[in-house]
Amino acid sequence: MGRQGRAAGVYVVLDLQPGRADLLDQARRYADLLREPNVGLAIDPEWKLQPGQAPLQQIGHVASAEVNAVGAWLDGLTGDNEPQTLLVVHQFQTQMVRGEDTLRVSWPHVQTLVHMDGQGTPGVKEDTWHAIVGAVPEAMPMGWKNFLHIDTPMLTAAQTMAHRPQPLMISYQ
């Protein structure tokens, strides 16, 4: 996947939805792919559940220390890669990343990006954006997700790019 993506000029992001698994243990399973210079990693705290919780019944969370541990490991794994490897943290509620003000923004070989993936009306998404931006470290690069069939109405590319800080990654689902 990594080499095929690179040959096609594509950057691939592997998305971890850990359930009750340890994030670092789960990331290590994909070490061979993550060594590729065009493969990054995403963490989806919504799916990091505690004992007794069930998917779609509760919204999970991770501690910033867990994210930072994955970032440090990824930095060691991808040290020779250029450009930096991308570490994406999906978030649509501030409680999804505990201690997010201590998220590490970057390492020498890894760049963290918080990806606001809330859904709904433009006003709801705007409120989510401001809450997340206000909670992360000031220098944190941000991303935005537009939902094709859920956002009502979905923002245009120009409307999305008008946000401050300007999103450095936009995804569509």
C-alpha angle 134/116/110, rounded to 5°? 90
Q: Which two tokens stand for residue 44?
A: 């989806």
Q: How many CA atoms lie within 13 A of 103 on its CB side?
A: 31
Q: What is the pLDDT of residues 68-119, one digit of tens each?
A: 999 999 999 998 888 899 999 999 999 999 999 999 999 999 999 999 999 9
Burial bucket for residue 103 (CB in 10 Å: 0-12, 13-18, 19+) = buried
pLDDT of 70: 98
Cβ atoms of 87 and 112 closer than 8 Å: yes
* pLDDT range class, residue 1, cuts 50, 70, 90: low
In the predicted structure, residue 53 carries a pLDDT above the cut 90: no
145: containing domain: 2-172
pLDDT of 56: 83
Domain count across the chain: 1
In the three-class reduction of DSSP (H, G, I as helix; E, B as strand; rest coil), residue 3 is classed as: helix
Q: What is the pLDDT of residues 21-52, one digit of tens each?
A: 999 999 999 999 999 999 999 999 999 998 88
Of the listed ranges 4-13, 23-32, 37-46, 155-164, the least confidently predicted one is: 4-13
Q: What is the mean pLDDT of residues 144-153?
A: 95
pTM, entire model: 0.94
Sheet holding 110-116, edge to edge: 12-16, 39-43, 85-91, 110-116, 142-146, 169-172
Q: Which two tokens stand for residue 154?
A: 């979905």
In the predicted structure, residue 66 carries a pLDDT above the cut 90: yes
Q: Give CA torsion, residues 139, 85, 142, 5, to 10 deg.
A: 160
* pLDDT range class, residue 8, cuts 50, 70, 90: confident
